[in-house]
Amino acid sequence: MTGASDTRATHPPLAVLTHGDLEVEGRLVAASNTTVRCVASLDGVAVRCVYKPVAGERPLWDFPDGTLAGREVAAYLLSGATGWDLVPPTVLRDGPFGPGACQLWIDESDDEPLVGFVPESKLPAGWHPVLAAEDDEGTRYTLAHADDVRLARLAVFDAVANNADRKGGHVLTGPGGRVYGVDHGVCFHVEPKLRTVLWGFAGAPLPEGAADVLERLEREIDGCLGRALAAHLTAEEIAAVRDRAARLRRRGRLPLPDPRRPTVPWPPM
C-alpha cells in the first residue's frame, strides 16, 4: 500500500504507524492475545500493520499484566541497536481498542521457509534438526531450520532478549530476503526463559560480527538505549539485558538448552 513517492519520503513507516489513523481490517483469530490487522494512513500514505491492544492481553502467571505491548516495543528498540533490524518497526500508541503495540505488517516472500516440520527422509542438506515428531498415520517428521546467518543473528537476539516464545511461525522472510522476528510480548524476563525452535545453533560460535554488536549493546544500555528501554521495562529487566549480552560475548557461543526447564515453545509452529 503506497502513496506518492515524495510523500513516503516525508512520512516513513514509523511515522505513519505513530501518527496515522488506524482502520481495522480484521482480527487474526489464531493469536492467543487480541491481534488486529489494520491500515495506518497519514497524508495519503498507507501501510498495513498489526495492532495488539493492551486490553486484549491474556494474563500470564510470570509476566506482569499489561506489559506485553511495551515488551514488543522494547524488542524493536533492542533490534535497532544491534544494527540487524530483525524486528519490524513497532510503536506504542492509542488505537480503536485503546493503547497497544502497533507493528508494520510484513508481506512474506515466496522463498521456502527457513524453519519448519519436514518429512524425516527429506531433511534439506545442512539443516539443523531440533525435534522429532510423528503424525497420526505414523509418518515421521523433523522440526528443523536452515544453517543461515540470518537465523543465527536472530538466535543471538533471542538470547539477549530472553525470548520465551520463538515459534517457527514467528520467523518471517520478507521482501529482498530480509528475515524478521515477530511476536515479542514475552521477552525480557529477569529469570531464564529462553524457549525457541532455533536450538540447532546451540553451542555454536557466534556469527561473524556478533561479539562487536554485543559489546556495543553493553555500552548503549548504559546510555541512550537504556533510557529508551526504561519506558517499557523495569531497571532490573534492563540490567538483565546487559548481563545476558556480556555473558554471551564472553562465552563466544550461543547458549545450550537448560534440561531443567521447558526450552521449546508449544506449539512450536
**Cis amide leading into 267 (omega within 30):** yes
Residue-wise pLDDT tens for the chain (269 aa)?
Answer: 543 333 445 679 999 999 999 999 988 877 788 999 999 999 999 999 999 999 999 999 999 999 999 999 999 999 999 999 999 999 999 999 999 999 999 999 888 899 999 998 899 999 999 999 888 888 899 999 999 999 999 999 999 999 999 999 999 999 999 999 999 999 999 999 999 999 999 999 999 999 999 999 999 999 999 999 999 999 999 999 999 999 999 999 999 999 999 999 988 88
- Give the pLDDT score at 10: 61
| φ, ψ at 242 (rounded to 5°) | -60, -45
- Per DSSP, which regions of the chain are E strands? 21-27, 36-42, 45-53, 90-93, 100-104, 115-119, 128-134, 140-145, 171-173, 179-181
CA 217 – CA 223 distance, rounded (Å): 10
CA 181 – CA 48 distance, rounded (Å): 17
- Per DSSP, which regions of 14-169 are E strands? 21-27, 36-42, 45-53, 90-93, 100-104, 115-119, 128-134, 140-145
What do you get for the CA distance between the two ends of the chain, in Å?
28
Long-range Cβ contacts of 224-229 (<8 Å, 24+ apart) = 225/77, 225/78, 225/81, 228/77, 229/74, 229/77, 229/78
- Give the pLDDT score at 191: 97
DSSP 8-state secondary structure symbol assigned to residue 243: H
Longest dimension (CA), the chain: 57
Q: SS3 for 156?
A: helix
pTM over 0.85: yes
Asked if 266 contacts 186 with a C-beta cutoff of 8 angstroms, the reply is no
- Give the pLDDT score at 57: 94
- Give the pLDDT score at 134: 82
Grid coordinates 483469530 are at which residue?
29
- Give the pLDDT score at 8: 44
| φ, ψ at 82 (rounded to 5°) | -70, -25
Q: How far is CA 242 from CA 10, 236, 237, in A?
A: 35, 10, 9
- Give the pLDDT score at 7: 40
CA 245 – CA 61 distance, rounded (Å): 26
How far is CA 38 from its chain centroid? 19
